[in-house]
Amino acid sequence: MGGEMGAFVEAFPRFLIWTASAGVMLVVSSTIYVLLTPWKEFAEVKRGNTAAGLALGGAIAGLALPMSSALASSITLIDFAIWGVVALLLQLIVYRLVDLLLGGMPRRIEQDELGAAAVLVSAKLASALILAAGLWDPALQRF
């Protein structure tokens, strides 16, 4: 077997494990986020609430961005899981900060206020990008 095929055969199981772990982490984190926020995102989205859909989409993307960065630079699955938890905590903190700044975020989302949802999504994505950039270290030897 050639060098490329041998490397593929050797690396593919690790790829599957890490990618599946990232998928599970994203689903679990998104579920925890939905359970901890005061409105029922899925019910609101099903009834056509655009603000709820934006807020939920922002949360999922806000979780996925730092997780993808952690996936690229983590050395162990435990290291990756720790940063996944940090990403979840950051998203919950950002939600709370935006709620404090704007006031009444659950009511605003339930009333389909797109402006409030846009601020929430922007804050989630901005914080996720900053966390992702802080995590990414191709040389794994920043300090």
Exposed / middle / buried, residue 16 (Cβ in 10 Å: 0-12, 13-18, 19+)? exposed
pLDDT in tens, the chain (143 residues): 678 888 888 889 989 999 999 999 999 999 998 898 887 888 899 999 999 999 999 999 999 999 998 888 888 899 889 988 988 898 899 989 999 999 999 999 999 999 999 999 999 999 999 988 887 766 655 44
pLDDT at 140: 57
46 sits in which H/E element: helix 41-46
Instruction: Identify residue 11 by its one-letter amino acid code.
Output: A
pLDDT at 134: 84
